[in-house]
Amino acid sequence: MSAPLLTVENLSRHFGGVRAVNDVSFAVEAGAITGLIGPNGAGKTTTFNLISGLLPPTSGTVRLDGGMLTGLRPDRVAAQGVARTFQGIRIFPALTVAQNLRTAVLAGMRLGFWEDLLNLPAAQRAEAAATRAVTVLLCDIGLEDRADDIANSLSYAHQSLLGIGLALAVRPRLLLLDEPFAGMNPSETQQAARMVTRIRDSGITVVLVEHDMPAVMGVCDHIVVLDQGSKIADGTPAEIRSDRRVIEAYLGTDDDA
């Protein structure tokens, strides 16, 4: 077994009395798709928020490739090669699809303040490189023919794809996807799932949050199960499928929508 890319150790986050995440530890193998599953309210999104720097943890640490992520600002976490999407989608609604992607691509480029402002050759090279990168990204997420549409006007499924595209534009080593299949019909889900596999095959490690178990079983190499803030299981899809506590947790909360 190679060294894990992401290590989460004894991570906790409490909101007042609510223990949203409670002493959770797990490791994410490089080059694999890890599923983070659990019923609604299990603490999956909060775990992402802790990893990506949106929230400070109450206690515990997150390491990427040995380096500490805990305590870094979101843009610093992004610079370390961690990108994420949001449950319920977050894009720049008033910009076009291409402008959305371009923004994220440019954000990651090295370019001096004055070089940029004075439009020196370095800035022009960066813009040209960004144009190429956007073309590739549009292709990756399958929105080539929507490039000039205002993001707001896209269908929900397409907005979700654009959200993934924004994350890919960061050129991440680790990609955190929060319920990317929510609101998609079965064929869209299948397409998106194939895209996630392609992303993994291109060398990006993926952590996938879903509360819909069957949707992820087929895609994930490894699964971590949360319930009420705590980890209750950790293993291959086959192991998870037969785990008694997982079955209980899911049977107990059949009201997920």
> CA 116, 90, 204, 4 torsion: positive or negative?
positive
C-alpha span between 7 and 105 (Å, rounded): 27
- Exactly one of 12, 45, 85, 205 binds Mg ion (CB under 5 A); which one? 45
Considering only the stretches 31-39, 80-88, 131-139, 166-174, report the one whose residues sit in contact with Mg ion under the rule CB under 5 A: 80-88
- Tokens for 211, please give them: 């509360």
Q: Which tokens is 207 given? A: 């952590």
Residue 46 contact among Mg ion, ligand ADP, other proteins, none, beta carbon within 5 to 8 Å by kind: ligand ADP
The minimum distance between CB 247 and Mg ion, in angstroms, equals: 21
Q: Which residues contact 250 (CB under 8 A, 6 or more apart)?
A: 39, 213
Binding partner of 205, given Mg ion, ligand ADP, other proteins, none, CB within 5-8 angstroms per partner class: none
The residue within the footprint of other proteins, chosen from 11, 126, 138, 206 (CB under 8 A), is 126
Distance CA 64, CA 76 (A): 12
Shortest distance, CB of residue 209 to Mg ion, whole angstroms? 6
Q: What is the DSSP string of 163-211?
A: HHHHHHHT--SEEEEESTTTT--HHHHHHHHHHHHHHHHTT-EEEEEES
Is the CB of 34 or the CB of 45 nearer to Mg ion? 45
Please choose, from the candidates 84, 76, 20, 72, the residue with its C-alpha nearest in 3D space to the C-alpha of residue 46.
Answer: 20
Q: What are the residues binding ligand ADP (CB under 6 A)? A: 15, 18, 20, 38, 40-46
Q: What are the residues binding other proteins (CB under 8 A)? A: 15, 52-55, 73-75, 77-79, 83-84, 86, 90-95, 99, 102-104, 106-109, 111, 113, 116-117, 119, 123, 126, 150, 152, 166-167, 169-170
